[in-house]
């Protein structure tokens, strides 16, 4: 089974409800899947202390996909001095996305209820503007979120493919399981088509074509 880790970045003020809805949709969308396990991370605790900061760093590091929920007040959110939070280096949303960009994570911006992709971003977040955003409407959430679920499924396929394309040393050193004692009933013979499909899935670079005599 392939495991995909999804980190959900959001602002508490205004976007907490949609963040919880996104998490629930991802988890329920893959519930019961026999080949994909999706683990989501949604920060619902108070962000205080160094330990929590280290925890956020660890969660971003292990994430395969970072979902950035961008609601109508995401860019304009400000502190008590009316300074934009996104411009402050200690802003948690900014830090999460900076880590994701530095580590070259797949970032999927969810643009909520007509929000446009932010343009006036700090230089450290400027590359995110090139990411293709997914418009999400709360009135048609169930259908609008489907492309996100498909992208997560694509990420699982990519991870599965990467696991099968390891170095030749991996295959030489790995002991593949075989029943002990041997099966009483022998497995059914595979057709040439079945063998070709299995080879493409497990060892993509393998060719079953007959060798030409010299």
- pLDDT tens-digit profile of 161-174? 776 665 555 555 55
Surface-to-core class of residue 84, CB atoms within 10 Å of its CB (0-12 exposed, 13-18 middle, 19+ buried):
middle
Q: Is residue 206 part of a domain?
A: no
**Alpha-carbon distances of 91 from 83, 86, 194, rounded to whole Å:** 11, 6, 53
Q: At 132, is the pLDDT very low, low, confident or very high (cuts 50, 70, 90)?
A: confident
Report the alpha-carbon distance of residue 112 to residue 123 in Å, rounded: 23
112, part of any domain: yes
pLDDT higher than threshold 90 for residue 134: yes
Does residue 192 belong to any structural domain of this protein? no
Does the pTM of the predicted model rise above 0.75?
A: no
Two structure tokens written together for 37: 């396990």
For residue 52, is pLDDT > 80? no
Domain assignment present for 90: yes
Which is higher by pLDDT, 163 or 114?
A: 114
Is a pLDDT exceeding 60 seen at residue 40? yes
Q: What is the mean pLDDT of residues 82-93?
A: 92
Residues of the domain holding 35: 2-162
State residue 175's pLDDT score.
52
CATH code for position 136: 3.40.50.10140
Query: What tokens appear for 129 in the block?
Result: 């503007």
Q: How far is CA 135 from the centre of its chain?
A: 18
Residue 205 lies in a domain: no
What pLDDT score was predicted for residue 13?
87
Tell whether 200 is covered by a domain: no
Structural domain includes residue 177: no
pLDDT in tens, 173-201: 555 555 555 555 555 666 777 777 766 66
Number of domains in the chain: 1
Q: Quick check: is 42 in a domain?
A: yes
For 4-39, how does the pLDDT look when each residue is reduced to its tens digit (9 = 90+)?
A: 999 999 998 889 999 999 999 999 999 888 888 999
Residue 204 has, within 13 A of its CA and on its CB side, a CA count of 9
- Residue 160 tokens, joined: 């599965």
Tokens 């990519």 — which residue? 158
Q: Is residue 154 scored above 70 in pLDDT?
A: yes
Between 171 and 71, whose confidence is greater? 71
pLDDT score, position 8: 96
Cα separation of 16 and 142, whole Å?
A: 17
**Per the structure block, which two tokens stand in for 4?**
């995909």
């Amino acid at each position: 089974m392939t495991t995909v880790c999804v980190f959900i970045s959001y602002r508490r003020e205004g976007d907490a409800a949609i963040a919880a809805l996104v998490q629930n949709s991802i988890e329920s969308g893959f519930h019961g899947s026999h080949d994909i396990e999706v683990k989501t991370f949604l920060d619902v605790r108070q962000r205080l202390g160094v330990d929590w900061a280290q925890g956020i760093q660890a969660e971003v590091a292990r994430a395969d996909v970072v979902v950035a929920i961008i609601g109508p007040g995401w860019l304009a959110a400000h502190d008590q001095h009316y300074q934009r939070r996104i411009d402050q280096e200690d802003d948690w949303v900014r830090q999460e996305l900076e880590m994701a960009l530095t580590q070259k994570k797949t970032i999927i911006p969810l643009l909520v209820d007509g929000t446009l992709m932010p343009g006036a971003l700090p230089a450290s977040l400027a590359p995110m503007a090139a990411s293709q955003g997914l418009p999400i409407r709360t009135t048609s959430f169930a259908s609008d979120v489907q492309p996100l679920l498909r992208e997560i499924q694509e990420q699982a396929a990519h991870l599965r493919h990467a696991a099968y394309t390891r170095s030749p040393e991996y295959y030489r050193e790995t002991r593949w399981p075989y029943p002990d004692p041997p099966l009483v009933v022998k497995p059914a013979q595979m057709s040439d088509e079945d063998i070709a499909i299995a080879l493409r899935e497990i060892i993509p670079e393998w060719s079953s074509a007959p060798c030409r005599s010299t």
